Amino acid sequence: MDLGQGEPLVHVQDFQMSFGSTKVIENLSFDVYQGETFGFLGSNGSGKTTTIRSLLGIYQATSGTLHIGGAPFSPDRNINLGYLPEERGLYKKEVTLDVMVYFGRLKGLSKVNAVNWSMNFLERVGIASRAKVRLDKLSSGEQQKVQLGITIMNDPLLLILDEPTKGFDPVNRRLLMEIIDEQRIAGTTVLMVTHQMEEVERLCDRVLLLKDGKARAYGTVSQVQDEFGSTSIDIELLGEIPLSDSYRVLRSNPDITQIVASVGNTPESILKELVLLGVQVKSFAEKKTSLDEIFIHIYGDEPIKEMT
Amino acid sequence: MVSFEVSRTLKKKKFWLGTLTVPFAIALILGLNVISNTTTANKVDTQKNAKFSFNYVDSSGLINSSIARALGGSEITDSAVGVANVKSANSEAFFNYPKDPTVEIISVYGIDKGIFDNGKYSAVATQLLQLSVQNRIGNRELASLIAGKVKVKSTSFLRGKESGSIGDAIPPMIFLLIFYLVLLLLGNQMLTSTQEEKENRVTEIILTTLNPNTLILGKIVSLFVIGVVQITVFASPVILGYSFFRKDLRLPNIDLSTLNFHAVPMIIGFLLLVGGFTLFTGTLVAVGAIMPTAKEAGNVFGVVMALLFAPFWIITLVASDPNSLIVQVFTYFPYSATVTSMMRNGLGSLGAGRAAIVIAELFIFGFIVLKLAMRLFRYGSIEYSKRVSPLQVFRKAKS
């Protein structure tokens, strides 16, 4: 994947959004390139869903450019899009297959193709026998599977998933992750809004962290880790770690003590100091700050370096 | 989209249960009516021709004794004796004709034969008086004319052309009937048409796959198709009843040749129907888009229906004094304009100029309200569980 090269599939430039006198988004800019999986992160109320809705033309932006495929999104442009909104549901009183075929038709499939696609999907997720059953007679897990099927129908060019695992049971969460994986391998561009940092680290090529409507971090996962986090050190030792100005203790339990080096100190100098102090070190490992920790740093209002 | 909306409605048992209940009820009522009318007519014929012995007192001097005898009657002079004879079962019945039967009551006494057969006494008493009077006039035709059995055809002229007949008024009024039927049958569905997307949280997915204008127009078209199905189902027992049981149902014979279909009032009626339909549909969809649940949206339905029926409060004024201020207000106020103008169009008091203004007004308001409804759906229906004000929606749309 050649990230940052060529025309982006999603292009957001100087996006601003206000509801009345309340500024919700300020000068937000980011790009999502074809084939990449992009994590759009932020706490509740930070403006993620507003950005997604504006990108999809559901809201009208106050100012700025929000493009998908080189132009503002409109259903009339027939962009093959799969969207799983945060607030989601289906026509519950209709028959499962009818609903899937209806959305398939809206997404441009012929009736025969929509039926075939739907049946194949239902078979894959093990609920083909429920095709003729009304959706409200399905378990919530089964309904989630149908929702997923509708989202990825007709092999979308761009998948926008807003809190995709929200409300999903563990089985369906795994299924969702498998599907996202498959889609990205098949070359689908994925824009994912999530709180699940493990998933972001596992799946996303690049991320944007939004706080109070402003971008607080933007880049590849390792770039963000390098720029925002500091390297922590996990130490296994006998006894307690002595106090020192060279490091700060993050966490300490009988098995592992986690420290972070103070300014001007390196892991090597700290190890040397500990040995000189007579500490019996069993293991000593450098570890990058996880996205989860960076997220807590940013949203916990702790001072953090802005990315250049 | 239209086929999905139509087929899913037509597949619902609830829809057919509701739709078929009406024709079944109509068929049941008509059936009972046929049975009742046939039985009653047979009974009345039997009863008025029933022969039994009775006494009568004739203070009016109208009763013909020969006819009375032929029917089994014998005259007496004392009414107390007549009543006593009935009580003692010496006579089956007694009729007491007062001095002036046109204002006074004819008293009839008889031996109880059960609630239905007791009717024969008053039937024979009336028959005896009618036959006696007819006999006194001496001419069957004259007697029929006095009874008011005459046919009148009146013709009036406006600017030298025949006009103003009921045959002129009925055809344009058909549009008023269609307007009411469509809105009464489909009004609630229009109100809740976008509720399903909202309540099921489908709006966002729909908005990214389908233009909201297409969605709203598709829903209106599908509602119209469903309405046509419902009207056909509802009308079928009436048409069948009229075609095959008209006499039994005692329905008047509708002579379609007396109806005059003039082009101008028919075109005006059609345009008023389309304009009014657009305005009311737009309004119902707009209300549905900002209400969080179908139940809450339903509360507004009553208000819209009141607006629809409001012109009937002044119907006599519309007919007698169409230029009065209140009729003018009802003619031009958008939500009463359709019905008032349709009535005036049928009665011939609308005029081409006024019709043009009302039609233009309805189309302009209808278009604005429909656009507003689309906007409210787009920005209001994603506020899934909240009731939003139009102002909030516009703030979102303009921001």
Instruction: Supply the DSSP string of A229-281, one letter for each residue.
Output: ---EEEEEEESPPPP-SSEEEEEE-SS-EEEEEPTT--HHHHHHHHHHTT-EE
Do A247 and A106 sit in the same domain of this protein?
no
Contact flag B201-A89 (C-beta cutoff 8 Å)? yes
Pick from A59, A93, A106: CB nearest B209: A106
- For the record, the structure tokens of B378 come out as 């787009």
**Of A173, A207, A225, which residue sits at a domain end?**
A225
Chain A residues near residue B209 by CB distance under 8 angstroms: 75, 81, 103, 106-107
Contact flag B200-A106 (C-beta cutoff 8 Å)? no
Contacts of A44 (CB under 8 A, 6+ apart): none
Residue B207: closest C-alpha in chain A: A58
pLDDT for A1 beyond 50: no
**Of A225, A251, A267, which residue sits at a domain end?**
A225
Mean pLDDT computed over A33-55: 89
What CATH code is carried by the domain that includes residue A52?
3.40.50.300
Question: DSSP per residue over B228-250, as a string?
Answer: HHHHHHHHHHHHHHHHHHTTTTT
Contact flag B210-A103 (C-beta cutoff 8 Å)? no
By the 10 Å C-beta count (0-12 exposed, 13-18 middle, 19+ buried), A23 is classed as middle
Task: State phi, psi for A242 to the nearest 5 degrees.
Answer: -70, 155
Q: Could you tell me which residue, B147 or B370, shows the higher pLDDT? A: B370
* Whole-number pLDDT of residue B49: 65
> What's the gap in Å between the CA of A237 and the closest CA on chain B?
55
Place of tokens 């599908």: B222
* Whole-number pLDDT of residue B386: 63
C-alpha B137/C-alpha B191 separation (Å) is 65
Do A154 and A279 sit in the same domain of this protein?
no
Mean pLDDT computed over B84-109: 92
Pick from B8, B200, B207: CB nearest A90: B200
Pick from B12, B204, B395: CB nearest A20: B395
> H-type helices in A107-220, by residue range?
111-124, 140-151, 170-185, 197-203
What angle do the packed helices A111-124 and A96-106 form, to 10 degrees? 130
Do A205 and A73 sit in the same domain of this protein?
yes
Secondary structure of residue A14 in the 3-state scheme = strand
By the 10 Å C-beta count (0-12 exposed, 13-18 middle, 19+ buried), B389 is classed as exposed
Do A189 and A40 sit in the same domain of this protein?
yes
Pick from A60, A76, A91: CB nearest B202: A91
C-alpha B2/C-alpha B247 separation (Å) is 42
Q: Does A56 contact B at CB distance below 8 Å?
A: yes
The neighbour count for residue B164, using CB atoms within 10 Å, is 15
Alpha carbon B344 to its chain's center? 18
Provide, rounded to the nearest whole percent, the portion of chain A with pLDDT above 70: 94
Q: Are A60 and A17 in contact (CB under 8 A)?
A: no
Q: Which of B177, B249, B207 is nearest to A74 (CA)?
A: B207
Do A123 and A272 sit in the same domain of this protein?
no
Contact flag B201-A76 (C-beta cutoff 8 Å)? no
Q: Are A102 and B202 in contact (CB under 8 A)?
A: no
* Residue A37, strand partner residues: A190
Pick from A18, A60, A103: CB nearest B209: A103
Pick from B4, B204, B398: CB nearest A85: B204
Do A240 and A139 sit in the same domain of this protein?
no
The neighbour count for residue B36, using CB atoms within 10 Å, is 11
Predicted confidence band of residue A130 (pLDDT cuts 50, 70, 90): very high
Do A132 and A74 sit in the same domain of this protein?
yes
Q: Are B339 and B275 in contact (CB under 8 A)?
A: no
Contact flag B207-A90 (C-beta cutoff 8 Å)? no
Chain A residues near residue B201 by CB distance under 8 angstroms: 85, 87-89
A2 belongs to a structural domain: no
A22 belongs to a structural domain: yes
Contact flag A59-B200 (C-beta cutoff 8 Å)? no
Q: Are A47 and A25 in contact (CB under 8 A)?
A: yes
Task: State phi, psi for A125 to the nearest 5 degrees.
Answer: -95, 10
Q: Could you tell me which residue, B366 or B152, shows the higher pLDDT? A: B366
Contact flag A60-B399 (C-beta cutoff 8 Å)? yes
Q: Are A235 and A283 in contact (CB under 8 A)?
A: yes
A20 belongs to a structural domain: yes
CB contacts under 8 A, A 149-188 vs B, are 150
CB contacts under 8 A, A 216-275 vs B, are none
Q: Could you tell me which residue, B187 or B321, shows the higher pLDDT? A: B321
> What's the gap in Å between the CA of A3 and the closest CA on chain B?
27
Question: DSSP per residue over B187-226, as a string?
Answer: HHHHHHTTHHHHHTT-HHHHHHHS-HHHHHHHHHHHHHHH
Contact flag A83-B205 (C-beta cutoff 8 Å)? yes
- Choose from B195, B200, B394, B398 for mutation: most chain A CBs within 10 A: B200
- For the record, the structure tokens of A196 come out as 């699940």
A293 belongs to a structural domain: no
Do A128 and A268 sit in the same domain of this protein?
no
- Binding-site residues on chain B for chain A (CB distance < 8 A): 1, 4, 8, 12, 196, 200-202, 204-211, 378-379, 382, 384, 395-399
Indicate if ipTM > 0.90. Answer: no
Q: Does A111 contact B at CB distance below 8 Å?
A: no
Do A123 and A181 sit in the same domain of this protein?
yes
Indicate the range of A109-118, B52-61, B332-341, B371-380 predicted with least confidence: B371-380
Mean pLDDT computed over B304-319: 85
Residue pLDDT, tens place only, B23-73 = 787 777 777 776 766 666 666 666 666 678 899 999 999 999 999 998 899
Residue pLDDT, tens place only, B232-263 = 888 887 788 778 877 776 666 766 777 778 88
Q: Which of A94, A69, A206, A214 is nearest to A146 (CA)?
A: A94
Indicate the range of B225-229, B273-277, B290-294 predicted with least confidence: B290-294
Q: Count CB pairs under 8 A between chains A and B.
A: 74
Averaged confidence pLDDT in chain B: 82
Rounded to a whole number, what is the distance in angstroms from the first to the last CA of chain B? 31
> What's the gap in Å between the CA of B14 and the closest CA on chain A?
12
Q: Which of A176, A154, A96 is nearest to A130 (CA)?
A: A96
* Whole-number pLDDT of residue A13: 94
By the 10 Å C-beta count (0-12 exposed, 13-18 middle, 19+ buried), B305 is classed as middle
Place of tokens 């990825």: A152
The neighbour count for residue A58, using CB atoms within 10 Å, is 22
Contact flag A75-B395 (C-beta cutoff 8 Å)? no
* Whole-number pLDDT of residue A11: 94
Q: Does A60 contact B at CB distance below 8 Å?
A: yes
* Whole-number pLDDT of residue B340: 94
Q: Are A259 and A247 in contact (CB under 8 A)?
A: yes
A294 belongs to a structural domain: no
Pick from B196, B395, B397: CB nearest A91: B196
B33 residue type, one letter? N
Q: Are A221 and A205 in contact (CB under 8 A)?
A: yes
pTM above 0.90, yes or no: no
Q: Does A20 contact B at CB distance below 8 Å?
A: yes
Q: Containing domain of residue A283, as a range?
A: 230-287
Domain count for chain A? 2
Predicted confidence band of residue B371 (pLDDT cuts 50, 70, 90): confident
Q: Does A98 contact B at CB distance below 8 Å?
A: yes
What CATH code is carried by the domain that includes residue A263?
3.30.70
Q: Does A108 contact B at CB distance below 8 Å?
A: no
Do A164 and A240 sit in the same domain of this protein?
no
Pick from A60, A93, A107: CB nearest B397: A60
Secondary structure of residue A153 in the 3-state scheme = coil
Task: State phi, psi for A81 to the nearest 5 degrees.
Answer: -120, 140
Q: Does A53 contact B at CB distance below 8 Å?
A: yes
- Choose from A23, A26, A62, A94 for mutation: most chain B CBs within 10 A: A94
Do A24 and A168 sit in the same domain of this protein?
yes
Task: State phi, psi for A155 to the nearest 5 degrees.
Answer: 40, 75
C-alpha B129/C-alpha B101 separation (Å) is 9
* Whole-number pLDDT of residue A6: 66
* Whole-number pLDDT of residue A150: 92
Q: Which of A212, A222, A231 is nearest to A291 (CA)?
A: A222
* Whole-number pLDDT of residue A305: 41
Do A198 and A83 sit in the same domain of this protein?
yes
What angle do the packed helices B212-245 and B166-192 form, to 10 degrees? 130
pLDDT for A303 beyond 50: no
Chain A residues near residue B1 by CB distance under 8 angstroms: 106
* Whole-number pLDDT of residue A72: 92
C-alpha A191/C-alpha A159 separation (Å) is 6
Domains of chain B: 45-146 (3.40.190), 164-390 (no CATH)
pLDDT for A302 beyond 50: no
A307 belongs to a structural domain: no
Provide, rounded to the nearest whole percent, the portion of chain A with pLDDT above 90: 28
- For the record, the structure tokens of B189 come out as 């569905």
> What's the gap in Å between the CA of B19 and the closest CA on chain A?
19
Predicted confidence band of residue A33 (pLDDT cuts 50, 70, 90): very high
Mean pLDDT computed over A215-239: 82
Provide, rounded to the nearest whole percent, the portion of chain B with pLDDT above 90: 26
Predicted confidence band of residue B297 (pLDDT cuts 50, 70, 90): confident
* Whole-number pLDDT of residue B399: 47
A174 belongs to a structural domain: yes
Averaged confidence pLDDT in chain A: 85
Residue B212: closest C-alpha in chain A: A75
Contact flag A88-B196 (C-beta cutoff 8 Å)? no
Place of tokens 């002129």: B168
A281 belongs to a structural domain: yes
